[in-house]
Amino acid sequence: MKIIGLTDIHGRLNSLIRIEKKLAEADLILIAGDITNFGDGDKAEEVISSIERYNKNILAVYGNCDYPSVESYLSQKGYSISWKHKEIGDYTFIGVGGSLSCPARTPSEFPESDFSTFFRSILNDFSSGSHPVRWLVLVSHQPPKNTICDRAHGGVHVGSSAVRQFIEDAQPVFVLTGHIHEGRGVDRIGNTIVVNPGPFRTGNYAEIEIDDGKLKSYSIYP
């Protein structure tokens, strides 16, 4: 499965034309939040419809800079995996939208306890056998704590402990994250690769290939 990973689009699509061939050839487009810049469902539609010109195989979560109607729009389209999961073949894609509290108030913020509760319910659901799981992929706007990907200005780590704990426990094949623009990079938690490609509003994106439950290749551009 060839995947293009985008995050922190913030309504800016100048770079789409540059990667149109890669978008069209991908098996899946993953979007890790901040689709708009403090926008609503109509603004999200403008962004998503532009991506749909190249590829309609999309899974997405909303970000802290997206209003709740963005999630409503994504759900109506069948693209949302925010606070839920979706199966594609042998892969289960789990999504977490929004972020922890930010220094400046944003529309979609949640306490750490909400992340912990969600991940506990997911793990309990999977362990009960009601949703047989082979391989996991996590898409989380909020990055895990103490990685390259959550390091803000000044080197302060501002990620989620709950997201990190889930990765340690579940060991997904890979994690696509964003939110911290300056946290662009790739890190590892156990056997899991964590990818923050950086904001697509400035042209950053990830190419990821998975095969038979393994991360075959990954790169962030430019």
The domains of the chain are located at: 2-221
pLDDT per residue as tens digits for the range 161-178: 999 999 999 999 999 999
Q: What are phi and psi of 57, to 5 degrees?
A: -90, 90
- The CATH architecture of the domain made up of 2-221 is 4-Layer Sandwich (3.60)
Distance CA(184)–CA(194), nearest Å, equals 10
Give the pLDDT mean for 196-205.
98
Contact in structure between 6 and 202 (CB atoms under 8 Å): no
Q: By C-alpha distance, which of 84, 102, 101 is closest to 93?
A: 84
CA–CA separation, 121 and 200 (whole Å)? 32
Mean of per-residue pLDDT scores for the chain: 97
For residue 49, give every residue at least 6 positions away whose Cβ sits within 8 Å of its Cβ, in sequence order, or none: none
Say which range, 26-35, 123-132, 143-152, 210-219, has the weakest mean pLDDT.
123-132
Instruction: For residue range 114-155, list pLDDT tens digits in order.
Output: 999 999 999 998 888 777 788 999 999 999 999 999 999 999
Residue 27: half-sphere exposure toward Cβ, Cα within 13 Å: 10
- pLDDT tens-digit series, residues 36-52: 999 999 999 999 999 99
Determine the pLDDT at residue 127.
Answer: 85
